[in-house]
């Protein structure tokens, strides 16, 4: 088999989580010299933390991010940094994931330099450019220039086909984030989570996980957190666990509305392993995170999505998630639904709504076939 060079791009923690399984699988098949993990540094501290969980390191690091950058600044820095890299070394494939500014600008730089682009987790659509912003625009941009589109679900594949992308360039592979989740849950539960769960059990409390960080939700967070406060007052046996994202507006809203309640635990940001093992023990989840929606659905955990749209409608259709918006009344009624929803036993089989744990193998198989047929 002819050797090819693969560059796998990561800029944020979710990208690390969803790209490392593929990085490992491609290295296994093609050798370490043929596969490089390229970092932009979009979320440098969280990126490094996620890499440490998997025991991996970047092969190249643009480190282009600076404090106070605007989205335009970040986009320009990634585009210029990747363009400079392509002037000195040119891989056969650049593999980007999802919908970040790093992924969009790296794809554009690759396109301008004649590098083939593969899009991991292609085809997600909300059909609303403002929700999520700028991610909906980013992923559509990538779809227009990618050579291969690895869709996690049938819905994602159909979205790409409706946009005119040739069927032979789209493959349903599942979500590599589920590969990472199942691998992580096979590891021993961190002592920090053991201690937290033991403390809650001692107090007779069942854990509920909250994550909140989306840019477009900032204006609504006061109302959102006020609804959470009211729900907890009428459900005193639930403990709300909120690992605070490095988003100062979310932190301020949480401290104002939630910190006074005895069953609220405001924690520093958890690492990925801690998050997965905590999630697996929760009664329900309240979130605006895409990755958490996928992970919770896989584990069968009722999920309240505090957004006006979701590009992961499969979980809603499966009856394991509800789209609540950001109005207090709908959040309260949605949380009541989740409270009534039966939570599966810890040892229950996973629900393969978004993936079954072997997406990286399927993607690598697809590359192998593409190389043989060239």
Name the catalytic one among 15, 25, 99, 294: 99
Q: 6-174+357-372, what's its fold?
A: Rossmann fold (3.40.50)
Is 99 among the catalytic positions?
Answer: yes
Q: Which of 46-55, 219-228, 257-266 has the lowest mean pLDDT?
A: 219-228
For 189-219, the pLDDT digits (tens) are 999 999 999 999 999 999 999 988 655 556 6
State the average pLDDT for the chain: 91
Query: Taking Cα atoms as reference points, which of 297, 349, 287 lies closest to residue 321?
Result: 297
Is 213 among the catalytic positions?
Answer: yes
Would 6-174+357-372 and 191-340 be classified into the same CATH topology? Answer: yes
For 136-147, the pLDDT digits (tens) are 999 999 999 999
CB 156 within 8 A of CB 131: no
Is 147 among the catalytic positions?
Answer: no
Is 121 among the catalytic positions?
Answer: yes
Name the catalytic one among 15, 25, 121, 216: 121
Sorted by where each begins, the domain ranges of the chain are: 6-174+357-372, 191-340
* pLDDT of res. 346: 66
Name the catalytic one among 90, 245, 351, 366: 245
CA distance to 5, 30, 226, 240, 311, per residue, from 35 (Å): 6, 7, 48, 41, 30
Name the catalytic one among 116, 155, 213, 341: 213
Is 214 among the catalytic positions?
Answer: no
Q: 191-340, what's its fold?
A: Rossmann fold (3.40.50)
Is 167 among the catalytic positions?
Answer: no
Name the catalytic one among 15, 135, 294, 314: 135
């Amino acid at each position: 088999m002819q050797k090819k060079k693969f560059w796998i791009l990561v800029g944020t923690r979710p990208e690390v989580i969803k790209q490392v399984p593929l990085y490992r699988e491609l290295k296994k098949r093609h050798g370490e010299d043929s596969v490089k993990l390229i970092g932009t540094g979009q979320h440098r501290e969280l990126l490094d933390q996620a890499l440490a969980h998997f025991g991996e390191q970047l092969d190249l690091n643009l480190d282009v991010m600076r404090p106070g950058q605007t989205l335009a600044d970040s986009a320009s820095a990634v585009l210029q940094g990747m363009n400079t890299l392509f002037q000195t070394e040119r891989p056969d494939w650049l593999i980007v994931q999802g919908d970040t500014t790093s992924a969009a600008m790296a794809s554009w730089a690759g396109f301008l330099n004649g590098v083939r682009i593969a899009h991991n987790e292609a085809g997600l659509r909300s059909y609303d450019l403002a929700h999520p912003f700028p991610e909906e625009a980013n992923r559509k941009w990538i779809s227009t220039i990618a050579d291969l589109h690895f869709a996690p679900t049938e819905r994602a594949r159909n979205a790409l086909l409706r946009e005119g992308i040739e069927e032979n360039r789209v493959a349903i592979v599942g979500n590599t984030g589920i590969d990472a989740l199942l691998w992580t849950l096979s590891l021993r539960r961190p002592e920090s989570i053991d201690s937290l769960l033991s403390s809650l059990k001692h107090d007779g409390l069942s854990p509920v996980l909250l994550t909140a960080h989306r840019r477009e939700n900032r204006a609504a967070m006061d109302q959102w957190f006020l609804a959470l406060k009211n729900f907890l007052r009428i459900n005193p046996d639930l403990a709300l666990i909120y690992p605070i994202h490095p988003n100062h507006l979310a932190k301020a809203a949480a401290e104002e509305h939630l910190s006074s309640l005895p069953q609220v635990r405001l924690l520093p940001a958890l690492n990925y392993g801690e998050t997965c093992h905590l999630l697996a023990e929760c009664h329900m989840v309240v979130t605006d995170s895409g990755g958490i929606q996928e992970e919770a659905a896989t584990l069968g955990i009722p999920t309240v999505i505090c957004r006006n749209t979701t590009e992961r409608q499969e979980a809603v259709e499966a009856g394991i998630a509800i789209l609540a918006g950001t109005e207090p009344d709908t959040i309260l009624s949605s949380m009541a639904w989740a409270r009534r929803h039966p939570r599966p036993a810890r040892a229950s089989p996973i629900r393969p709504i978004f993936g079954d744990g072997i997406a990286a193998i399927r993607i690598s198989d697809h590359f192998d076939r593409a190389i043989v047929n060239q």
